Structure 1
Amino acid sequence: MPKMKTNRLAYKKLRVNAKGKVSHARAFTSHNTGKRSAKRNRQLKGCRLVGSTEIRAVRGLLPYHGARA
């Protein structure tokens, strides 16, 4: 049976940590940040974990990267 392919978009945008949890960067941070409040920009800064409802789909996109449910 051939190997499954890794989805390259998911590979570039998602990161799997040592415990197998998947994180992603927030949207709406690349430009036009001056019109939002400093509080909103600060809240958008960090990474966020992928929700439990999407983790099964992410595991299909990253078959060899240890994403756990």
Structure 2
Amino acid sequence: MPKIKTHRGAAKRFSVTKSGKIKRAKAYKSHILTKKTTKRGRRLRKGGFIAECEAKKVRELIPYK
């Protein structure tokens, strides 16, 4: 049985915590930041977690991470 290939794009975007949750970065932080408030910019710095219904699909993309 061959190994399952890792989806490289997903591997760069997501990481798995020790508890098994999938961590992600928040969007809208790369450019056009002048019209966004400082408070919003600070909130966007922190990461987030993927909902459990979507986490199953992401785990299939990154089986060895």
TM over 0.5: yes
Alignment partner, residue 7 of structure 1: 7
Alignment partner, residue 43 of structure 1: 43
Alignment partner, residue 26 of structure 2: 26
| RMSD, matched Cα | 0.9
- 1:32 Cα shift? 1.0
Ranges in structure 1 where 5+ consecutive residues have no aligned partner:
none
Ranges in structure 2 where 5+ consecutive residues have no aligned partner:
none
1-side partners of 2:59 and 2:16: how far apart? 10
Q: Which runs of 4 or more aligned residues in structure 1 lie more than 4 Å from their structure 2 counterparts after TM superposition?
A: none
Alignment length, in residue pairs?
Answer: 65
Task: Give the secondary structure class of the aligned counterpart of 2:9.
Answer: helix
TM-score (norm 2): 0.91
TM-score (norm 1): 0.87
